Chain A
Amino acid sequence: MTTLPLSSQLINLGAAVLLLTSFAMLSQRRIVSLVNLFAIQGAALSASTAIVAYTSGQHHLYYSAALSVALKMLLLPWILHRLIRRLNVRWDTEPLINIPTTMLVGIVLVVFAFGLAQPISQMSTTIARSTLGIALAVVMLSFLMMITRRKAISQIVGFLAMENGLFFAATSATYGMPMVVELGVALDVLIGMVILGVFFFQIREQFDSLDLQHLEQLRED
């Protein structure tokens, strides 16, 4: 068992925190906790991006880290908390499949992601390559969360967590995306949030609840 350099260990720790938070999101019922977990994810993400920037000398990653802090730790959680307060939704109702089964499926997805990432990570040359599997796992777990939740807010948080995972995958495999792409993605996410916030109010107006099952009434029979 070789001891890795301190920077790699810290990145591994950040990856582990990322995985832990996405797993914890699967098991949470309180929507406020979901948003807090998302903020913690943002913190872990920015920290590991900063460390990658420090050890690899790619300075544009410092800007990515700063953007992450601004958006994912501060702005987005604030918007979400405001949304939650105004929509007055605190608890998610029973998810589609019960929580232990969801977590079991989550474990299977994690194994799948790890297995998938093994050959790719052997090709990569960055210092953080063993974390590619974790990043993929985070993406898959967030997707699972989006599928199995009923309230729209939880799905939004899942979507944002998925974007976190993708960002981490990009950082660990290729030292980040070009700055233009990153800024574009960040802008898209922000605008999407605003639009979805508007949508939520409309849904709530129409059905008096944010349970997305009501949207199924709209189909033609």
Chain B
Amino acid sequence: MTVAAFISLIEALLAILLAPLFIGWIDQCRAWLQNRRGAGVLQPYRTLRKLLHKDAVIAHGASSLFRVSPYIQFGAMAMAAAIIPVFSVRAPLGVAADTIALVGVFALARVFMALAAMDIGTAFGTLGARREMLVGFLSEPALLMVFLTASLISQSTLLPTIVDVLGQIHLTIFPSLAFAAIAFVMVLLAENARIPIDNPSTHLELTMIHEAMVLEYSGRHLALIEWSSALKLFNYAAIGVALFVPWGLAGRAAGPMELALALPIAAAKLGVAGAALAVVETLSAKLRIFRAPEFLATAFLLAVLGLLVHLMLER
């Protein structure tokens, strides 16, 4: 039990420390694809260090909800990182929070971010909040449906158990998981404000979704929010890798050798995932804001379709 707790703690710490590196890797891949030199994979760390040293400048009308929200978002993402199996399926905190609670944690972070955006009282903040909730209200059911499909296949809603079962099934092709994988990738792009839903490096306020909500943050608050966004993308990538490419994770009865082997395998998988994400971002164009519901509705209905295909073909 204590070994499992230790592993869980290591996973959470690794996720927190390496999430900016993940973002840096994706940005570097995008730079290479766009024939630029890029800023290096360590750039997000430099940004975070710079931000943490600056004063926090807060608008006159902001309440304490605004100041508390970055900490809550970061805490929620850190908790999620403790639940998601990155290199080992043992996660004692996973007993307290299953996949449905994981969706709830993401919703908690999203709601607090939207409320904080509305707190300032400018047009941009409320615009961002409204758009973020629009993206959220369609992507959350899609994510839940993906998890439900995986739960039906593995007969459990606990994420470590799901990953364990999916990793041990002898080479069986599940078409429903194919649907779920496509839906999950679409949800990942939408929830983490990547192209084609949102451009993370835009400066045009009227096209922003996620950035419009953090327009007013600065200093350590902005550092925490940037970090929690990176952590969110890391978490989503880790979930995707764990659900759809589960081979290589250390099982329940793994010893230290297997754990040590699982770490580089997980790193390699995440690296490939990041590069693939960069490729998808480079090949797509950002959608108009009112095409975003269509995109997300497609993801939701694909996830439902995956569920139906599971019920039809795989029982």
Contacts and interface: CB of A to CB of B under 8 A. Distances in A.
Contacts of A110: 305, 308
B1 interface: no
B179 A10 contact: no
Interface of A: 1, 3-4, 9-10, 12-13, 15-17, 19-20, 23-24, 27, 98-100, 103-104, 106-107, 110-111, 114, 130-131, 133-134
7 contacts: A10-B173, A13-B175, A15-B313, A16-B313, A100-B294, A111-B308, A134-B312
B264 to A, nearest CB: 30
Nearest to B138: A100
A156 B301 CA distance: 25
Contacts of B176: 16
B168 interface: no
Nearest to B155: A1
Given A10-B173, A12-B173, A23-B302, A103 B309 contact: no
Given A27-B294, A107-B301, A107-B305, A20 B178 contact: yes
Given A1-B315, A20-B182, A114-B308, A104 B301 contact: yes
Contacts of A19: 305, 309
A100 B293 contact: yes
Prevailing SS type, chain B contact patch = helix
A9 B178 contact: no
Interface in B24-45: none
A110 B313 CA distance: 13
B289 to A, nearest CB: 15
Contacts of A3: 169-170, 172
B311 to A, nearest CB: 8
B209 interface: no
B150 to A, nearest CB: 13
Interface of B: 153, 169-170, 172-173, 175-176, 178-179, 182, 293-294, 297-298, 301-302, 304-305, 308-309, 311-315
Given A20-B179, A134-B312, A103 B298 contact: yes
Contacts of A134: 309, 312-313
Contacts of A12: 173, 175, 313-314
A9 B172 contact: yes
Contacts of B312: 114, 130, 133-134
Contacts of B294: 27, 98-100
A106 B178 contact: no
Given A10-B173, A20-B178, A27-B294, A130 B313 contact: yes
A20 B182 CA distance: 10
A12 B294 CA distance: 28
B134 to A, nearest CB: 12
Nearest to A4: B172
Given A10-B173, A20-B182, A134-B309, 11 more contacts: A9-B172, A12-B313, A16-B313, A19-B305, A23-B305, A99-B298, A100-B293, A103-B301, A130-B313, A133-B312, A134-B313
A133 B312 CA distance: 8
B172 A27 contact: no
Contacts of B298: 24, 27, 99, 103
A9 B172 CA distance: 7
A30 B127 CA distance: 30
B175 A15 contact: yes
B232 to A, nearest CB: 26
A140 to B, nearest CB: 13
A75 B298 CA distance: 30
Contacts of B301: 23, 103-104, 106-107
A50 B298 CA distance: 31
7 smallest beta-carbon distances between A and B, as pairs: A16-B175, A100-B297, A9-B173, A103-B301, A99-B294, A27-B298, A114-B312
A1 B175 contact: no
Contacts of A100: 293-294, 297
A92 to B, nearest CB: 13
B305 to A, nearest CB: 6
Contacts of B315: 1
A4 to B, nearest CB: 7
B141 to A, nearest CB: 13
B173 A13 contact: yes
